[in-house]
């Protein structure tokens, strides 16, 4: 696995072997992430954290990981606080950040923003979410969680639930799970089903996803329920959002039908898709 100076734009930038290598390394890094062991392997480096969309977990996880490894962080969180507010292009902004940093982490409302940023940067660019496009680092984390709690991903019944149209986490996750031989079910209201170009590309790779709008159909057979937020900010028309808001809600009642070792995952933030009573169960 040679990831030196590589961009992370899409999960498809990695082979299955690369991903397995990263997951093994992640396992070794847990004590460092918790601060139980100290490593300063990024001493003297600078990470540029550019978050042009709201974020708590992703932004802080990059910051925390950087500091844990001795790397300094400079960041911007508001487009209005950058020269973009004066009309500067993203390409120019990226070139400047690239000149000051050893790696750029970018979250941006436009699909394809990280791919473009990677073109204009000499140093690596990490996609921390590009609009409704993809979210490869969240997928690495999700695979890590699944592997840790299930041992292996191969053959697992995994249901992706919620906003599969605008949700970038599920786009990357479906690609990765296909590499790992999982059986996929897509549970979404018809208007928010997985985009057909993604489904076609999964099929070409040998995955035959089952698509439904009925959560009750899948709860009993799933090993993993991966629940997502309806992405309100991506709807062109608020009335369309209202039609689908609150479609699914996982609570202890619905989980009575579930396998005892079903795990419920969510990339967070959650709105009302998972009742907080579920947090106290073995499924969480």
Give the residue carrying structure tokens 């689908």.
Answer: 244
Residues 134-193 that bind ligand NCD (CB under 6 A): 135, 138, 168-169
Smallest separation (angstroms) from ligand NCD to the CB of 130: 10
Q: Between residues 49 and 138, which has the closer beta carbon with respect to ligand NCD? A: 138
Q: Between residues 174 and 183, which has the closer beta carbon with respect to ligand NCD? A: 174
Of 3-11, 17-25, 67-75, 227-235, the window that binds ligand NCD (rule: CB under 6 A) is: 227-235
Residue 209's SS3 state is: coil
**Encoding tokens for residue 156?**
């697992």
Q: Between residues 185 and 228, which has the closer beta carbon with respect to ligand NCD? A: 228
Q: Between residues 123 and 168, which has the closer beta carbon with respect to ligand NCD? A: 168
Count of residues touching ligand NCD (by CB under 6 A): 12
Of 10-18, 150-158, 196-204, 224-232, the window that binds ligand NCD (rule: CB under 6 A) is: 224-232
Site string for ligand NCD, 59-98 (x = CB under 6 A): ----------------------------------------
For residue 123, CA distances in Å to 12, 13, 127, 189 come to 19, 16, 13, 41
**Encoding tokens for residue 243?**
């039609």
Smallest separation (angstroms) from ligand NCD to the CB of 204: 25
| Among positions 60, 74, 268, 284, the unique one binding ligand NCD when judged by CB under 6 A | 268
Find the angle CA(119)-CA(124)-CA(127) to the nearest 5 degrees: 80
| Among positions 16, 40, 57, 148, the unique one binding ligand NCD when judged by CB under 6 A | 57
| Among positions 124, 136, 209, 267, the unique one binding ligand NCD when judged by CB under 6 A | 267
From the list 88, 105, 99, 8, the residue with the least C-alpha distance to 51 is 105
User: If you write DSSP's letter for every residue of 150-183 in order, what string do you get?
Assistant: HS--TT-EEEEES-TTT-HHHHHHHHHHHHTT-E
Of 94-102, 147-155, 205-213, 226-234, the window that binds ligand NCD (rule: CB under 6 A) is: 226-234
Site string for ligand NCD, 113-132 (x = CB under 6 A): ----------------x---
Q: Between residues 124 and 129, which has the closer beta carbon with respect to ligand NCD? A: 129
Q: Distance between CA atoms of 255 and 216, rounded to whole angstroms?
A: 10
For residue 45, CA distances in Å to 37, 103, 168, 253 come to 20, 9, 29, 50
Q: In what order do the strands lie in the sheet with 125-130?
A: 72-76, 46-51, 103-108, 125-130
Q: State the DSSP H helix or E strand holding residue 126, giving kind and residue range, or none if neither.
A: strand 125-130
**Encoding tokens for residue 74?**
């400079």
Residue 218 · residue 190 · CB < 8 Å: no
- 245 sits near ligand NCD (criterion: CB under 6 A): no
Q: Give the residues lining the site for ligand NCD (CB under 6 A).
A: 57-58, 129, 135, 138, 168-169, 228-229, 231, 267-268
């Amino acid at each position: 696995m040679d990831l030196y100076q590589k961009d992370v734009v899409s999960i498809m930038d990695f082979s299955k072997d690369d991903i397995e290598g990263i997951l093994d390394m992640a396992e070794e890094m847990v004590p460092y992430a918790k601060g139980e062991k100290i490593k300063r392997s990024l001493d003297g480096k600078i990470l540029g954290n550019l978050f042009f969309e709201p974020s708590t977990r992703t932004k802080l996880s990059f910051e925390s990981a950087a500091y844990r490894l001795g790397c300094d962080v400079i960041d911007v969180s508001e487009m209005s606080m950058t020269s973009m507010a004066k009309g500067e292009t993203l390409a120019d902004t990226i070139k400047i950040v690239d000149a000051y940093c050893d790696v750029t982490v970018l979250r941006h409302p436009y699909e394809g923003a990280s791919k473009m940023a990677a073109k204009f940067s000499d140093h690596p660019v990490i996609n921390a979410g590009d609009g409704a496009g993809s979210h490869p680092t969240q997928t690495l984390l999700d695979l890590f969680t699944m592997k840790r709690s299930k041992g292996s991903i191969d053959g697992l019944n995994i249901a992706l639930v919620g906003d599969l149209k605008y949700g970038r986490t599920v786009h990357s996750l479906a690609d990765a799970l296909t590499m790992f031989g999982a059986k996929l079910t897509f549970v979404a209201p018809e208007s928010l089903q997985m985009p057909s170009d993604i489904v076609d590309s999964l099929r070409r790779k040998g995955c035959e996803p089952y698509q439904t709008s009925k959560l009750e159909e899948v709860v009993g057979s799933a090993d993993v329920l991966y629940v997502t937020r309806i992405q309100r900010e991506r709807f062109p028309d608020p009335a369309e959002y209202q039609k689908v808001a609150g479609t699914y809600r996982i609570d202890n009642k619905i989980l009575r039908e579930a396998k005892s070792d079903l795990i419920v995952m969510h990339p967070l933030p959650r709105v009302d898709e998972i009742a907080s009573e579920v947090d106290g169960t073995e499924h969480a």
